[in-house]
A = this chain, B = another copy of it.
Amino acid sequence: MKFMKQTELFAKTLKEAPKDEKSINAQLLLRAGFIYKEMAGVYSYLPLGLKVLKKIENIIRGEMNRIGGQEILMTVLQPKKIWEETGRWSKEIGEAMYKCREDSKEIGLGPTHEEMLTDIIRHYVKSYTDLPLYLYQIQTKFRKEPRARSGLLRGREFAMKDLYSFHSSEEDFKKYYQKVIQAYHNILKRCGLKAILTEASGEGFTKGYTHEFQVLSEGGEDKIVYCPQGDFSQNKEIARFRAGNKCPRCGQALREDKSIEIGNIFPLGTKYAEAMNAFFVDKDGKRKIIIMGCYGIGSSRTMATVVEVHHDKKGIIWPEEISPFDTHLIQIEKKPKIKSAAEKIYKDLQKNGKEVLYDDRDKSAGEKFADADLIGIPTRIVVSERTLEKKCVEIKKRNETKTKLIKLGYVK
């Protein structure tokens, strides 16, 4: 679906967001027809929304492959027995697990996959020559969530990339950890986000500190203390400093702001491998425990964060690389000559590899412009009687106010 006529596109924009939605991301994504609310924290993706989600996931996939990640797909249904090995069935993250029964058996819906993947790799990894190993999946996760009030920022059902790395030495792990940090910065930058690498607590995944990628945002649920210089940041929960204190690195005054954590990376050490007997035989012939890291980034949460950061009163402002379409072509009035000029431009843009949404609806210019602003495609092209008189179309960027006229033959 690289191009589409708006008369055929499912679904329509809405004048108002549902009253029970307080978050900007849910309000705008619902109104613009990107998502549909099934329950609190549970949203279906309509065609526009799924296009954005897939683009984000493809960016993630590319960056994961670049650092040696191999994609797999584990299951949602998880047997109780592997969770009992680590003791997490009913504590820590296990408390947030949805559980159901089949006959006498209890089955969990995966809120995360450390247990499952440790079980898989202990069946295959025998020797140091089998390591390192980097496996990731892009999959739907489930967590009971009493605070599901932030749209796609905190879902009961949400899309996530989780990467797990397996190493024969702490040194090797540390090198890879740095590579993942770089990959995460690349991903977020390509999605139009600037993230602050922040120290945080282990949240039941590990005893030590971990790192979160935090994006400053008014709609955020977290608070971070950070140096504007960018070389120090701690999650408010664990922070030893307050706003105004001096940065321990550069001495500048620290700030404190609201921020969503968008990704996190955990040095898991040997916690899971030890509990689940995941060993390898090292060069020296000795049996050793596998060292692990895990690295999460929510793809649906990234989508929500982008909307929280990139919007104005009129609607969403998508960054180029994850916009559902490149160009929103709008035809004003249904006169045959305007229609045929618009159709020609529609085809030319397709030929040039553009992804085009073509507003061929029988609506007023005002309604069309309002919908275009709400949907938020980066480039708007308008074809009207007035522009055609000048043998031109009008081009406007969503994040700018000025328009300009371009000769018909030069529309690309």
Residues of chain A whose beta carbon lies under 8 Å from any beta carbon of chain B: 1, 8-12, 36, 38-39, 42-47, 50, 53, 65, 68, 70-79, 98-100, 102, 107, 109, 116, 120, 123-124, 133, 135, 140, 142, 144, 156-157
- B residues less than 8 Å from A156 (CB atoms): 77, 102
The reply to whether A157 and B75 contact each other, CB–CB distance below 8 Å, is: yes
Given contacts A100-B100, A102-B144, contact A120 B72 (CB under 8 A): no
Q: List 20 A-B contacts (CB under 8 A).
A: A1-B65, A10-B70, A10-B124, A10-B135, A36-B120, A38-B79, A38-B116, A44-B72, A44-B73, A44-B116, A45-B73, A46-B72, A47-B70, A77-B156, A98-B100, A98-B102, A98-B107, A99-B100, A100-B100, A140-B140
Is A75 a contact of B43 with CB atoms below 8 Å? yes
**Complex CA distance for A71 and B70, rounded to whole angstroms:** 26
Chain B residue at minimum C-beta to C-beta distance from A134: B10
Cβ-defined contact, B53 with A73, below 8 A:
yes
CB-CB under 8 A from A107, the residues of chain B are 39, 98
Residues of B within 8 A of A100 (CB): 98-100, 109
List, in ascending order, chain B residues with CB within 8 A of A44's CB. 72-75, 116, 120
Q: Enumerate chain B residues within 8 angstroms of A50, measured Cβ to Cβ.
A: 71-73
B10, B36, B71: the one contacting A133 at CB < 8 Å is B10
State whether B123 touches A9 (Cβ < 8 A). Answer: no
- Which chain B residue has the least Cβ–Cβ distance from A129? B7
Shortest CB–CB separation between residue A408 and chain B, in angstroms?
Answer: 30
Taking A10-B135, A50-B72 as known contacts, 5 extra A-B pairs with beta carbons closer than 8 A to each other, sorted by chain A number, are: A11-B123, A38-B75, A45-B74, A50-B71, A77-B156
- A105 → B minimal CB distance (Å): 8
Please determine whether B70 and A9 come into contact, CB atoms closer than 8 angstroms: yes
Complex Cα gap A71–B52 (Å):
12
Chain B residue with minimal CB distance to A69?
Answer: B1
Q: How far is the CA of A38 from the CA of B81 in the complex (A)?
A: 11
Nearest Cβ distance between residue A210 and chain B, in whole angstroms?
25
> Which residue in B45, B79, B99 is a CB contact (below 8 Å) of A39?
B79
- The 9 closest A-B CB pairs, nearest first, are A45-B73, A100-B100, A44-B74, A11-B124, A98-B100, A47-B70, A77-B157, A42-B77, A42-B75
Chain B residues with CB under 8 Å of A140's CB are: 76, 140
Q: Is the CB of A76 within 8 A of B142?
A: yes
**Complexed CA–CA distance, A184 and B200 (Å):** 51
Cα of A39 to Cα of B116 in the assembled complex, Å: 11
A71 and B102 CA atoms in complex are apart in Å by 32
Q: Note all chain B residues with C-beta closer than 8 A to A74.
A: 38, 44-45
Q: Is there contact, CB below 8 Å, between B142 and A77?
A: yes
Partner of A47, one of B11, B72, B144: B72
> Who on chain B is nearest to A68 by CB?
B8
Nearest residue in B to A46 (C-beta to C-beta)? B72
Q: With the chains together, A192 CA to B109 CA distance in Å? A: 34
**Chain B residues in 8 Å Cβ range of A142:** 76-77
- Which of A11, A43, A144 counts the most B-chain CB atoms under 10 A from its CB? A11
Give the CA-CA distance A124 to B13 in the complex, in Å: 9
**CB neighbours of A71 from chain B (8 A):** 1, 47, 50
A72 CB to nearest chain B CB (Å): 6
B39 & A77 in contact (Cβ 8 Å cutoff) = yes
Return chain B residues, CB-CB under 8 Å to A42: 75, 77
A38 and B78 within 8 A (CB)? yes
Beta-carbon nearest neighbor of A74 in chain B: B44
Chain B residues within 8 Å of A133, by CB? 10
Interface centre among A45, A100, A120 (most CB of B within 10 A): A100
